[in-house]
Amino acid sequence: MIEIINASFLTSAANVEGAPENEYLNEVVFMARSNVGKSSLLNALTNRKSLAKVSSTPGKTRLINFFDATILDRESDERVTAMLVDLPGFGYAKVSKSIKTDWEKNLTDFIAERKQIKLFLHLIDCRHPFLDIDRSVDEFLEQICREDQKIVRVFTKIDKLNQKEQGKLLREFPGALMLSSAKKRGISKLVSIIYNTIKEDEIDV
């Protein structure tokens, strides 16, 4: 069994210049539209109720949040350290146009320039899998992704679909991960993906 045995909030930053120093290629970026369940997923992954605050106002948070995490493989007793990076939700924000423009630039700069990122997790609400904004994010990630980085598409709230709908979604998006934070479905698989992705390339940057 592989699980996150320890996780804690480290710091917040507005842009890549303010991001914490990190010597390792071990950062896991969580990115999603607002209100897709990103904070709930972080809490489920770490088995913490309030590690990431769930906001009632979509698009309210404009800071990049960093969390330290230790992941343990109980079978081998090996562990890796990861930095979980919670990006602000995109595509919805009750802010001025100028603030939103600066905000989006800060996010794209961080994603493209942060050398320590190993894994991108693009979270998508399974009930809305074909939105233009998510297609744009996929295209952007494919353009900037380095050979030593990995992208995983994660469909959230899968408990909202019946078995037939889930099967159809899997056929349309082979290789995607289906999960439900509320039902704890797919959580252990995602932890294993994070562990194995980081472990295969534990090097300095």
Please indicate, yes or no, if residue 120 is contained in any of the structural domains.
Answer: yes
The rounded average pLDDT for each run of 10 residues, N- to C-terminus, in the chain (205 residues) is 95 93 94 89 90 58 89 96 91 55 78 94 95 91 93 96 95 94 95 94 55
Rounded CA separation 24/42 (Å): 21
- Whether the model clears a pTM of 0.85, i.e. scores above it, the answer is yes
Please give the pLDDT value at position 135: 92
Q: How far is CA 174 from the centre of its chain?
A: 19
pLDDT of residue 35: 83
Q: Is 70 helix (H, G, I), strand (E, B) or coil?
A: strand
Residue 205 belongs to some domain of the structure: no
Structural domain boundaries, residue 119: 2-199
Which amino acid makes up residue 59?
Answer: G
Residue 204 domain-assigned (yes or no): no
SS3 115: coil
Q: What residue has token string 């999603």? A: 32
- Report how far residue 189's alpha carbon sits from residue 205's, in angstroms, rounded to the nearest whole number: 27
For residue 61, the domain's CATH number is 3.40.50.300
Asked whether residue 186 is assigned to any structural domain, the reply reads yes
Q: What pLDDT, on the 0 to 100 scale, is given for residue 46?
A: 93
pLDDT for 94 equals 54
Task: Look at residue 43 and tell me if it is in a domain.
Answer: yes
* Distance between CA atoms of residues 189 and 193, nearest Å: 6
- β-strands 27-32, 150-156: how paired? unpaired
Identify whether the C-beta of residue 37 lies closer than 8 Å to the C-beta of residue 100.
no
Burial class (CB in 10 A: 0-12, 13-18, 19+), 155: buried
Is residue 156 assigned to a domain? yes
Name all contacts of 170-178 with Cβ < 8 Å and 24+ positions apart: 172/129, 173/129, 176/152, 177/152, 177/153, 178/126
d(CA 129, CA 183): 20
68 close to 4: Cβ distance less than 8 angstroms: no
Number of domains in the chain: 1
In the numeric block, the tokens 């950062």 are attached to 27
In a domain, residue 111? The reply is yes
Confirm whether 81 is domain-assigned.
yes
CB neighbours of 102 closer than 8 A, spacing ≥ 6?
none
